């Protein structure tokens, strides 16, 4: 259980965060598409792969999930694939 001082500190931090989001100083990661995330994190291999698949599938998650291009070098690393299902 939080004491009043900690709860007030948390609420203040949340209010500051929301103000920064509102002003555009902070862009929430969930608001970005995979290409934007890759640009924001240029050293992330995970985001690079997601961005490539996102571009290849014209932004359609379902197309990435159902991708049948097994000779693509990113095939085994693509996002949104169904685990345990061999395509």
Residues that bind ligand SF4 (CB under 6 A): 52-53, 56-57, 64, 67, 69, 72, 74-75, 78
Minimum CB separation from ligand SF4 for residue 61, in Å? 10
Cα-based distances in Å from 9 to 1, 4, 5, 53, 85: 14, 9, 6, 41, 47
Nearest to 42 by CA among 33, 51, 30, 54: 51
Minimum CB separation from ligand SF4 for residue 63, in Å? 7
Minimum CB separation from ligand SF4 for residue 35, in Å? 13
């Amino acid at each position: 259980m939080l004491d009043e001082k900690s709860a007030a500190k948390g609420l203040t931090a949340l209010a500051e965060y929301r103000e920064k989001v509102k002003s555009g100083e902070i862009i929430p990661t969930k608001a970005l598409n995979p290409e934007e995330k890759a640009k924001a994190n240029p050293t992330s291999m995970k985001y690079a792969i997601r961005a490539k698949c996102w571009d290849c599938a014209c932004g359609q998650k379902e197309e990435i999930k159902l991708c049948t291009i097994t000779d693509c070098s990113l095939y085994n690393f693509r996002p949104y694939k169904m685990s345990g299902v061999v395509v």
